[in-house]
Homo-oligomer: A and B are copies of this chain.
Amino acid sequence: MSKKFSTEPLRGMEEYYPDDLRELNWIIENIRDVAEQYSFEEFESPQLEPIEIFAAKSSEELVNEQSFIVEKKEGEKLILIPELTPSLARMIAKKSQELKKPIRWFSIPTCFRYERPQRGRKRQFKQINFDILGEESLFADLEIFSIIVDIFKQFGANPSQFQICYNNRRFVDALCEIVLTVPKEKLSLIYKILDKSDKMEVDEFEKFVIDSFQDESIVQGIYKIKDAENLNDLLSKFETIPEEFFETEGYKELNEFIKLLDDANISEYCSFSPNIVRGLDYYTGIVYEVFDMGTENRRSIFGGGRYDDLLSLFSDEQITGTGFGMGTLMLSLFLKTYNLIPEEIRKKDYTDTIYIASINNKVSKYALKLAKLVRDEEFPCIIDYRFKNLGNQLSKANELGVLISLIIGPKEMEQNEVTIKNMKNEKQKSIKIDSLIEEIYNIIEEFAV
């Protein structure tokens, strides 16, 4: 007896037994339905990419510490993609001339991150990405918001369960520069602080803010942004706001967007949240995180935003984009929290599967013939290959949850007949095989009523 290997997958890897995969595929099919309604096209990029395009666009921590790297030749490092955006940019840049704008693309790549596995986070995961490219107007951001709302509504979620908490980086820029008088070069530090505001302990955060800005009014301002409940609340916290602030692109764009959310009738699903800025550098306009609101501490499910200059690594062409990446695991956790995944989705449905049970092996050829007949009509079919112990065969059919069994023996074969049995009400009868398909439809219809 030799030493055996573990049957566990590697730490943090996703594996799906048929029940699990039916659930995942049900989630993905729902999302594909929404993609279809918004006329999005699916694409698929490679899972290995040159490390450079991620090093240049994603955070250093992500690439150097949290990624799986393959070194095949001396000096050539390949990365198992930790996110999709750099690959999307590469593929768009390659065919930018021939692609009709706006481009509406979605993709469900498998991504990899080498981090501590935890609830909703694995080392291998699928991420649903939706992006609109080449459309500058806020209507593109609005469309992405509508898609998010429709995805959640598709599953039956309501606004007390999820909220898109959004902000606008141009608005934050204007607020910080004009109202808080933060020097331009320190704006990115503000983003870092706001991004950490609900990820750090209170004391730690306080120290971080004070170490970053010695100016008391800026420190106060940061807390005002962090704690504001909505736009009015935020603005009312400042005693004086220079008139020029209200003339900024950032302020106007934010207000326009708030109006658009109203026009599209999705305001109830969205909350302006000035502390939401997103960690990644490449965001430039609208940014957001979608939160599970129902738990004691609201929990971020995923996020996204507007990024300009998507193609800069690959070409001089300017293309703007807006989109999101949502892990299927976090989504599925959310759905489970609210019982939005029907139990029966996980079980294989054998209702229209025809089970062929044979009295002995003399009729195997006839069993094969019947199987072909029903499969040609697109009914799934299982032949029990035991060809003896009819009772055991029918028990197996029952155990699976089959509705219709066909029982055959030498007599049936000789007369081109078959005994068809409704396993639920136990009724059975002999029929000619000419009427088999009709009888199958009858039993299924009767059962469905």
Identify A353's interface contact among B33, B39, B49, CB under 8 A.
B39
Residues of B within 8 A of A379 (CB): 37
Tell me what chain A mostly uses at the interface: helix, strand, loop, or mixed: mixed
A204 at the interface (CB under 8 A from B): no
**A25-48 Cβ-contact flags toward B at 8 Å (1 or 0):** 100000001001111011111111
B7 engages A380 (CB within 8 Å):
no
CB-based contact B94/A8 at 8 Å: yes
Residues of B within 8 A of A13 (CB): 46-48
A68 within 8 A of B: yes
A43 and B68 within 8 A (CB): no
One of B44, B70, B123 near A68 (C-beta < 8 A)? B70
Q: How far is the CA of A314 from the CA of B2 in the complex (A)?
A: 10
Interface stretch of the complex, out of A182-190, A206-214, A364-372, A434-442: A364-372
Contact between chains at A380 and B38 (CB < 8 Å): yes
Q: Contacts A5-B50, A39-B380, A381-B38 hold; do A375 and B150 have CB atoms under 8 A apart? A: yes
Whether A4 contacts B124 by the Cβ 8 Å rule is no
A142-173: CB near B (< 8 Å → 1, else 0) gives 11000000100000000000000000000000
Say how many copies of this protein the assembly contains.
Answer: 2
Binds B, one of A14-22, A296-304, A409-417: A14-22
Q: Which residues of B contact A253 (CB under 8 A)?
A: none
Known A-B contacts A5-B53, A139-B385, A314-B4; the reply to A18 vs B91 at CB < 8 A is: no
Q: Interface size on A (CB < 8 Å)?
A: 89
Are A313's CB and B39's CB within 8 A? no
Instruction: Tell me if A263 is interfacial: C-beta within 8 Å of chain B.
Output: yes
Q: Which A324-371 residues have C-beta < 8 A from chain B?
A: 348, 350, 353, 364-365, 368-369
* Segment 242-268 of A: residues with Cβ below 8 Å from B: 263-265
Q: Do the beta carbons of B375 and A46 come within 8 Å of each other?
A: no
| A39 to B44 Cα, complex, angstroms | 28
- On whether the beta carbons of B265 and A5 are closer than 8 Å, the reply is no
Bound together, the chains give a CA A68 to CA B76 distance in angstroms of 13
Contact A93 B7 (CB under 8 A): yes
Q: Which residues of B contact A265 (CB under 8 A)?
A: 368-369, 372
Interface residue from B10, B16, B90, B105 paired with A49 (Cβ < 8 Å): B10
Q: Is A72 an interface residue (CB 8 A)?
A: yes
Q: Which residue of chain B has its CB nearest to the CB of A379?
A: B37
Complex CA–CA separation, A114 to B50 (angstroms) = 15
For A367-400 the 0/1 string (1 means CB < 8 A from B) is 0110010010011111101000000000010011
A6 to B70 Cα, complex, angstroms = 19
- At the interface, yes or no: A181 with Cβ under 8 Å from chain B? no
Check A114–B72 contact: CB distance below 8 A: yes
A429 within 8 A of B: no
Q: Does A234 contact B (CB under 8 A)?
A: no
Tell me whether A15 and B44 are in contact (CB under 8 A). Answer: yes
Asked if A308 is at the interface of the complex by the 8 Å CB criterion, the answer is: no
Q: Are B139 and A364 in contact (CB under 8 A)?
A: yes
Say yes or no: A263-B348 contact (C-beta < 8 A), given A37-B378, A38-B381, A44-B16.
no
Which of B10, B14, B41, B378 is close to A78, meaning CB atoms less than 8 Å apart? B10
| Assembly CA distance A344 to B368 (angstroms) | 36
Which residues of A does B touch, CB under 8 Å?
1-2, 4-10, 13-18, 21-22, 25, 33, 36-39, 41-50, 52-53, 56, 68-70, 72, 78, 80, 90-91, 93-95, 100, 102, 105, 110, 112, 114, 123-124, 135, 137, 139-140, 142-143, 150, 263-265, 312-316, 348, 350, 353, 364-365, 368-369, 372, 375, 378-383, 385, 396, 399-400
